[in-house]
Amino acid sequence: MPINSFDYQISTSLNHLCRKYEIFDRMIVMLSDNHLLKGGVLMLIIWYLWYQPGKDKRNAQSRVGIISAFLSSFISIFIVRILPKVMEFRARPILNPDNHFIEPYGINRNIFDNQTSMPSDHCSLFFALATGIFFISRRWGIVAIAYVLLFISFPRLYLGLHYATDILAGAGIGILFAVIANSKVFRSMVSEKIHQLSISHTAVFYMVFFFISYEIVEMFTSLRHIATFMLHPSTFQL
């Protein structure tokens, strides 16, 4: 996939900052790979909103919104995982020789060799979640969106893992499905029915709720490894 001037300018502008300050480079690398500082922070907000004090009706609406946020994140990450199979491969900025990319301190470029950069799966998942939070609480939603921009999206641009349009495409997918999942029709047909299960089958619901929260934090890595092994056991490797 060809690189447009918009992507090239942003990528090269940020790349001029690399290897200026070693501790900054290594901090950005740490942020890009740390599940706690990515999904973990957003999940803390989610669990706070689930148990926030308030009237029963308000709590019920918040919980339905959280269920919608979870569902939108599933759909978004599923779509983003399928798209590369039907789209032209796009090498990450750090791996494109035309960019003459200066590698930041602390990054291992070899682990990205076979992965396309378009669109960003991180942005699709976490923008879906942050947008879902915004539907529940504007204050917390703004915090979540700002966090995704600064601590999830920016590191991936800075390290040359994605171009700007990769970020925008992933964010657009996540936001789109978050809006759909928060429509009246979707909430009444799907999210509200799942919420009723949390009341009628509390123990089972919270077991699944915790499991889903954990998988979102680690971006479904465990499930993807299991699926990969089941499909291609002889070639499986980390």
In this structure, what token pair is assigned to residue 231? 């499909």
Q: Which runs of consecutive H residues, i.e. helices, occur in 54-107?
A: 56-86
Q: Give the residue carrying structure tokens 């950069």.
A: 117
What is the per-residue pLDDT across 10-22, written as a single tens digit (0 to 9) for each?
888 888 888 888 9
What is the per-residue pLDDT across 177-223, written as a single tens digit (0 to 9) for each?
999 999 999 999 999 999 999 999 999 999 999 999 999 998 888 88
**How many Å apart are CA 52 and CA 65, to the nearest integer?**
13
* CATH class, 5-235 region: mainly alpha
Domains of the chain, residue spans: 5-235
Per-position b or e across 41-70, b if 16+ CB within 10 A of its CB: bbbebbeebbeeeeeeeeebbbbbbbbbbb
What is the per-residue pLDDT across 145-185, written as a single tens digit (0 to 9) for each?
999 999 999 999 999 889 899 999 999 999 999 999 999 99
What is the per-residue pLDDT across 23-40, written as a single tens digit (0 to 9) for each?
999 999 999 889 999 999
Kindly state the DSSP code that residue 104 receives in the 8-state scheme.
Answer: P
